[in-house]
Amino acid sequence: MQERMENPALVLPAAMQALNALSKVPTETGLSPKLLELVNLRSSQINGCSVCIDGHWRIARKHGETDERLFAVAGWRDAPYYSDAERAALGLTEAITRLSDRPDPVPDDVWDEATRHYDGRSLAALVIAIANINVWNRLNIATRQIAGAWKP
């Protein structure tokens, strides 16, 4: 496969600046970088974004994430490696990423579980993080970016 064009965020520097600024917000509110990388990885797996799948496990490892947790993130419901708060974040990630898969895209039980573990600011930051990785996934997939070209 060949990329269709350079990533649009690289073509339009203002877009890159905005997306990079947005990506800093969740950590500035105190969300763990390890949690955010699990969210990034899971959303990218769902969307099939090979660039982000390839990059975000690398970033997670730099933050001290373990192989067990990285390898099992697609099966987070059954794997013993995640806290209840992480499970709530991953459940919310899946719901927000798969908006068209069900009549109620983000069911109350998923939302309510997230609110049990995250206060208003951290929940807002989590939703921003999920939305941001979905933007990156869509930019990369639409333009057929090549996995491995980006090495964080």
pLDDT averaged per 10 residues, the chain (length 152): 94 97 96 98 98 97 97 97 98 97 95 98 98 98 92 83
Report field, pTM of the whole predicted structure over 0.75: yes
> What pLDDT shows up at residue 25?
97
pLDDT for residue 1? 81
* Domain 35-143 architecture: Up-down Bundle (1.20)
Find the angle CA(34)-CA(40)-CA(46) to the nearest 5 degrees: 140
Whole-angstrom CA distances from 70 to 54, 64, 81, 99 are 12, 11, 10, 24
